[in-house]
Amino acid sequence: MLKIYNSLSRKKEIFSPLKNKEVKIYVCGITPYDTTHLGHAFAYISYDVLVRYLTFKGHKVTYTQNVTDINDRDKDILERAKEQNIPWQKLADFWTKRFLDDMKSLNWIMPTNYIKASENIPSMINLIQKLLDNGFAYKKNGNVYFDISKKKDFGKLSKLNALQMMKLAKEFDEDIENLDKRHPLDITLWRAISSGQSKHIPSFESPFGPGRPGWHIECSAMSMFSLGDQIDIHGGGIDLIYPHHESEIAQSEGASHKIPFAKYWAHTSFVSYRGKKMSKSLGNLVMVSNLLRKYSSNAIKWMLLSHHYRKPWEFYENDIILAEKSWTIIENIVKENSNKDPKIDKAYMTKFINLMNNDMNTPAVLSLIFEKRKNISKHSLRKILLILGFII
């Protein structure tokens, strides 16, 4: 049986879908204002393998990933659009396409639903109205806020106290000093926009007045709109646990009155480069597009899957060089008389399944592949590589 680590319980749990053999997954996608780096690829290839493995296990998977092309944090898309003096939509569309091109080069499967925040404003407005109607939200000066005091289990995912939340909220540019709020940690659901503000700032009409949605309500709305009130797995980077995912839980459960919003929370860890977490703000990026100029997509994938999705790791150039050599060896074995070896090696497949069932242990799987490469049927080897998403 598949066991996955649930960030909500802080332990590995046997995976059991809410509805037999049907799995609903939501993963927080990119904010498209710059190019795709290795940290992005690590996260989204990890979830891609999860989707592929669940499908192999006989589940019908419905997978939603969003594009945060509207962000209430001005320093991202809106600031970049202003710097370049171009419409925010044009900037977002350009980098979304670049992301998709890079990921497709890595044989990434397009999610069932790949949706933009800008195209789902009505669902966000409807969700905010539900929260107002249910007494979880309040209005002030054209803004709408979620009152965290009304959600008694707020903090159940992050396990943080108020002081720890305040510190992280400041790092995420949450407007905790906003005097309109009843409590500094109340969640911004709708941000009012005045008529005199910059043309680079998006504004939409709503019953609350002109404005734009808060970052956290976007994912709640897009998940519920595309997958329903409850989902099986919610994924994203570990840095999103608070405030983003904690806020999603409060909003979604406050609107639907259904608990849990997500049964399992899966989080990928960081990729570092030159001693620090890879990030656009630090500029220490390793671009997927640059790697693809020198190395095969399968080598990049081999390198990514040689690290467990929950373990932080650091990129070194030698890693991808070794991955290319390893992949070349495996590729040559697969091509060798593959049509003459049609049988399935049941013992080998059982080992593969046991490793994957242990919280998607892809590093151990790759070690198994390499160690047993000459002693298993080519058909079995090929089958496993296809499940992992390699191009053969």
pLDDT in tens, 236-263: 999 999 999 999 999 999 999 999 999 9
pLDDT in tens, 13-30: 999 999 999 999 999 999
Secondary structure (DSSP) of 310-345: TS-EE--HHHHHHHHHHHHHHHHHHHTTGGG-----
Domains and CATH numbers, the chain: 3-271 (3.40.50.620), 316-388 (1.20.120.640)
pLDDT averaged over every residue in the chain: 93
Give the separation between CA 248 and CA 26, rounded to whole angstroms.
12
pLDDT in tens, 35-61: 889 999 999 999 999 999 999 999 999
CB of 372 closer than 8 Å to CB of 347: no
CB of 203 closer than 8 Å to CB of 193: yes
Q: How much is the average pLDDT of 360-366? A: 98
Q: What phi and psi, each to the nearest 5 degrees, are found at residue 113?
A: -125, 120
Give the torsion through C-alpha atoms of 73, 77, 80, 84, to 10 deg.
-140
pLDDT at position 74? 53
pLDDT in tens, 148-192: 999 999 999 999 999 999 999 888 877 888 889 999 999 999 999
